[in-house]
Amino acid sequence: MKKCLLLVMVLFSVVTLADIPERVSDNIEKNSFEKDSSNLYVRDQKRAYNRIVSLGKKEGLTTEKVDEEVRRLEKKYGTDYEIVYKNFYYNVKELSKNEKRIEESKKINEEKKEEYKGLIKKVDIPSNIKEYIEKSADSRYPNNYSERVKYTEDLIKFYNFIKK
């Protein structure tokens, strides 16, 4: 019975610790020599790291983003993963908000790109002025189609005003 229980505990520890990267495991082992109860320390640190990873997945962050944030927090707070987890918890909310905001802005930018192409096609002005407007808008706002549309509309209005 004792052998069976020991075997189950070993298998459980191997399964739960298999997800931890070597870098993190080395950091935990390095710090465990300084502690009195090193087995408890190692277990708690590995649990804290696993909570970091699961929280990152729950919030929809990629593994690379989670690892990048953990490395940043390690530089700031050291390799105590319980402290890193506490700070990661607060930072992950901001990270996920920023990622959602970036995705929304990319989507809006693509919609405005189509609007810009349609605006340039439908405008009834001479081709040399149209080319000037396109070059000017492109040089001023190379990747921001929302601003490019506004700028192009303003230039077209100005041209029509002068034309009168």
Q: At 14, is the pLDDT very low, low, confident or very high (cuts 50, 70, 90)? A: very low
Q: What is the pLDDT of residue 35?
A: 54
Q: Is the pLDDT of residue 141 over 80?
A: yes
pTM beyond 0.75, yes or no: no
DSSP one-letter string for 81-146? HHHHHHHHHHHHHHHHHHHHHHHHHHHHHHHHHHHHHHHHHH--S-HHHHHHHHHHHHHH-SS-HH
Q: Is the pLDDT of residue 3 over 80?
A: no
Percent of the chain clearing pLDDT 90 (strictly above): 11
Q: Is the pLDDT of residue 161 over 70?
A: yes
Residue identified by tokens 């990629």 is 62
Q: What is the pLDDT of residue 1?
A: 58
Q: Where are the domains of the chain?
A: 11-100
Q: At 54, is the pLDDT very low, low, confident or very high (cuts 50, 70, 90)? A: very high
Q: Is the pLDDT of residue 149 over 80?
A: yes
Encode pLDDT of 76-113 as tens digits.
888 888 888 988 888 888 877 888 888 898 899 899 88
DSSP one-letter string for 41-89? HHHHHHHHHHHHHHHHHHTT--HHHHHHHHHHHHHHH-S-HHHHHHHHH
Q: What is the pLDDT of residue 15?
A: 43
Which one is predicted more confidently, 92 or 10?
92
> Which DSSP state fits 35?
S
Average pLDDT score over the chain: 81
